Structure 1
Amino acid sequence: MISVRGLEKRYGDVTAVDGVSFEVDAGEVFGLVGPNGAGKTSTLKMLCGLVEPSAGDVTVNGFDAGETEMRRSLGFLPEESPLYDEMSPRGYLRFFADLYDVDREAANERIEAALDRLDLDARDRPVGDFSKGMKRKVAIARSLVNDPDVLVYDEPASGLDPLTTNTVVEFTRELADDGKTIVFSAHDLHHVESVCDRVAIMRDGELAATGTLADIREEHGEVSYRVFTDVPLADSEPAGDRHVTEVESMDDVEALRSEASDGGGEVVDIRTDESTLEDVFLDVTGT
């Protein structure tokens, strides 16, 4: 579990993070999104104990950020994750397992299991010969060698081809299903929408919206209904052999149903149009 309370980070006169608070439960994927300069990276680095907060508290599994025990229970995947190009995936991952004092037998089992789940077969070739997607898979496997309870993934699928992206996103969901606590940050909001249980949108160092996707849509998004009838209505437009009217509430839908009935017809279809996370993001952040 992750607990963040009143987190602040100031760089001189610039406040990068201003009073951010949230919690993430075990088995949950928590999305942290925002435009460039919103404070996401600073928040993630403070969460991982890489940057000291100016104020506030961060605890991971009951340990303060930066404590040795906290680091043992956390796996971090930064947006840019250089590897040792001359090493093979197996050698590279065993090296990091040794840094965490992981038993060699347990390390080998974890490494093979992670590479199996990520569909990475080339395990003894130099990493320098790999594509960007293959290197990203190795970096993800590295975040798992210490079997952490908490994972922080910053742009895990950035710049990858669609097939590899799908593998990474699905793998993230599987990790949560296994009970891992995950903070997931990405610019591609489709990925966030497909994998996250809750989302926090940052703007100017603050949380502008937080909640489930349904909660955020209800508070900040819009819903409209396209009602198709087999007779023309006062405000309808032709749609093939039918007629369509767009309204904003179910009360309006019922009013159209009555209007169609009075005209000797009926409602034959209703389609709901909801704001996507991207729509809400653009509205909340003013971008």
Structure 2
Amino acid sequence: MIEVRDLRKEYGGFVAVEGSTFSVDEGEVFGVIGPNGAGKTTTLKTLAGLLEPTDGHAEVAGFDASDPRMRQRLGFLPEESPLYEEMTPLSYLHFFADLYDVDRAVAETRIHDTLDRLDLEYRERPLGDMSKGMKRKVAIARSLVNDPDVLVYDEPASGLDPLTTNYIIDFTRELADDGKTVVFSAHNLYHVESICDRIAIMNEGRIVARGSVAELRERYGRTAYHVYTSVPVEGSEPVEGRDRHERTVESMDAVEATREAAEAAGGRLVDIRTEDPSLERVFLDLAEGESDAERAVARRAEEGDAGAGDAARAEPPGADE
């Protein structure tokens, strides 16, 4: 449904996006994450046809992203989405349905069905009198009024309370389950991890990593082993309120060395707990500069990770999809 090849966007002398390549399949949720200024919003606006790329190609639902016909197949939700506050949700959504030439009877049914799914009860109240969460639900309903195949959402739950946020994130996943293709950005990596099929991590205008959460963890993550001993060993810290000491290491060889050190000191190994790499840790490592795939794999190899060779088979940033 979406094909992006060598996308580049330059503003004057500033390059906001450089060499982005990715594709998104029908019914897939594709997350775009990165620090502020990474190029996420520029990428999403280009997909929505709001920005013309400086170079490269973006295709959405079989149309060039700049083709006005594409917008009939697209629902776009910007991070900031001012509404016509003197209108009610129903009048506002019918207004946009008319812009898309949606049949009035079809629009009536679609609008109420969508508001039912979004649990928006107050449909005749002026938008200016509604909470931010309610307004966001109306903006999401607006993105669906033309029954699009592709949805591009920029921070759909930005600034909302936790309950409304979870509702909107779950609803986004439901849209993909209905067969819609969803591309969205978010700063909350827990939400990204919970609903995305695949993720692209951007930094300084480039995609520095791409794949499923499992692939990103395997390729860039570092498993931590929390080793507990009955006596102190080098590098360990006492555990408050417990008669044990903790040392955190990153390889099974280091676990074995810790056990041997404890036994040499007259103690023993009490427990081992494994901590798998989180998406947040992977993201921070990449965003803080460890964005080169070869350096990341080389680092793991130097640490004696026997799985580094297998991890190298995960999808590299520039691979065709």
TM-score by length of 1: 0.89
Residue of structure 1 equivalent to 2:288: 286
* Gap runs ≥5 in structure 1: none
Give the Cα separation in 2 of the matches to 1:261 and 1:150.
60
Q: Report the CA distance between 1:180 and its aligned residue.
A: 1.2
CA contact (8 A) 1:227 1:244 kept: yes
* Gap runs ≥5 in structure 2: 290-321
Give the Cα separation in 1 of the matches to 2:165 and 2:152.
17
Q: CA RMSD in A?
A: 2.5
Change (3 A) 1:258 1:26: farther
Give the Cα separation in 2 of the matches to 1:270 and 1:76.
48
Give the Cα separation in 2 of the matches to 1:262 and 1:14.
60
Change (3 A) 1:174 1:262: farther
Give the Cα separation in 2 of the matches to 1:145 and 1:237.
58
Query: What is the correspondence of 1:199-278 to structure 2 with a 5 Å cutoff?
Result: 199-228=199-228, 232=231, 239=239, 240-241=242-243, 244-250=246-252, 252-253=254-255, 269-278=271-280
Residue of structure 2 equivalent to 1:37: 37
Q: Report the CA distance between 1:252 and its aligned residue.
A: 4.8
Q: Secondary structure at the match of 1:167?
A: helix
Give the Cα separation in 1 of the matches to 2:110 and 2:276.
42
Q: Secondary structure at the match of 1:93?
A: helix
Give the Cα separation in 2 of the matches to 1:110 and 1:225.
52
Q: Secondary structure at the match of 1:143?
A: helix
Q: Report the CA distance between 1:89 and its aligned residue.
A: 0.7
Q: Deviations over 1:210-253 (max 9, x none)?
A: 11112222222221112446x55856665525554433234555
CA contact (8 A) 2:233 2:258 kept: no
Deviates more, 1:241-250 or 1:189-198: 241-250
Change (3 A) 1:125 1:193: same
Q: Report the CA distance between 1:208 and its aligned residue.
A: 1.1
What code does the residue aligned with 2:12 have? G
Residue of structure 2 equivalent to 1:22: 22
Change (3 A) 1:252 1:86: same
Residue of structure 2 equivalent to 1:3: 3
What code does the residue aligned with 2:51 have? V
Q: Report the CA distance between 1:279 and its aligned residue.
A: 2.2
Give the Cα separation in 2 of the matches to 1:211 and 1:170.
21
Identity %: 65
Query: What is the correspondence of 1:113-128 to structure 2 with a 5 Å cutoff?
Result: 113-128=113-128
CA contact (8 A) 1:184 1:196 kept: no
Give the Cα separation in 1 of the matches to 2:87 and 2:79.
21
What code does the residue aligned with 1:103 have? D
Deviates more, 1:276-285 or 1:93-102: 276-285
Please state which structure has a larger fraction of its residues in strand: 1
Query: What is the correspondence of 1:36-185 to structure 2 with a 5 Å cutoff?
Result: 36-185=36-185
CA contact (8 A) 2:6 2:57 kept: yes
Q: Report the CA distance between 1:201 and its aligned residue.
A: 1.2
Give the Cα separation in 1 of the matches to 2:15 and 2:269.
54
CA contact (8 A) 1:151 1:181 kept: yes
Give the Cα separation in 2 of the matches to 1:135 and 1:5.
35
Change (3 A) 1:137 1:226: same
